Structure 1
Amino acid sequence: MKTLTTLITAATLTLGANLAMARDLGPDEALRLRDAGTIQSFEKLNEAALAKHPGATIGDTELEEEYGRHIYQLELRDDKGVEWDLELDAKTGEVLKDHRDD
C-alpha cells in the first residue's frame, strides 16, 4: 500500500510540475493574441524595452505563457556591447525583469 501511495504522489507532483512550466507561443498564436487585444503590439513592447536601454539593438525575442500570463522576452545589446535580458508583461508592457546577461 505504501508503494501505491508513493507512486500516486510522485505522479501527481510530476504532473503538477509539468503544468506549471512555461509554454512557448508560435508566431500564429502570437499574432492571434495581438489581433484580439490580449497582448500589446510587438512594436509597443519593443519601444518599452528600448526605453530602458536607449541606443540598444534587439536580438532574440520570444513570447511565452507562464502561469496564465503572457511574457515577452528580449535580448538587447547596448552601445557598449553589454547584453541585457528583459521580460515584459505582454498585456501591460510592464518591465518585469531587466538584468545584465553574464
Structure 2
Amino acid sequence: MKTRALLLLLLGSAMACAVALAPLAHADDDDKRIRRLQRSGEVLSLDQIFNRARAVKQGRILDADLDEDDGRLVYEIELLDARGRVWEMKLDARTGRLIELEQDD
C-alpha cells in the first residue's frame, strides 16, 4: 500500500512538472520558428520590428510574439511607455506596417 501511494505521488509530481515545463518547450519551438523565418527573409528581424514599434510609441519592449492572423504573419508587441502605460500593437511581420495599436487595460 505504501509503495502504491508513493508511486502515485511520484507520478503526480512528474505530471505536474511536465505541465509546468510545456510552455517552455513551446517557447523554444517558437524561437526556432522565428529564427528560421528571419533567416529565410520571410519576416523582418526583431531589431527591425522593435525599431518600427518604437517609431510608433517610445518605450521599453515587454513582450513580442509571432502569430498568424487571417493567413498573414503578425508580430504582437507589448510596450511600456514613460508614463507607465502598456501598449499592444500588431505589426505585419513581412513589412513592419502597423496594423493595430491599443492601450492595454
TM-score by length of 1: 0.72
Report which of the two has the higher share of helix.
2
Sequence identity of aligned pairs in percent? Answer: 32
Q: 1:34 aligns with which of 32, 38, 61?
A: 38
Structure possessing the higher radius of gyration over alpha carbons: 2
Aligned ranges for residues 1-80 of structure 1 at < 5 Å? 26-54=30-58, 56-80=59-83
Unaligned runs of 5+ in 2: 1-26
CA distance in 2, matches of 1:71, 1:26: 13
Gaps of at least 5 residues in structure 1 are 1-23
Match of 2:96 in 1: 93
Counting matched residue pairs gives 78
Moved over 2 A (4+): none
- Structure 1 residue 60 displacement after superposition: 1.2
Q: Which has the higher contact order (CA 8 A, sep 6+)?
A: 1
CA distance in structure 2 between the aligned counterparts of 1:71 and 1:41, rounded to whole angstroms: 12
**Cα distance in 1 for residues equivalent to 2:96 and 2:78:** 16
Shift of 1:66: 2.2
Describe the superposition over 1:8-31 as per-residue Cα deviations: whole angstroms up to 9, x where unpaired. Answer: xxxxxxxxxxxxxxxx97111111
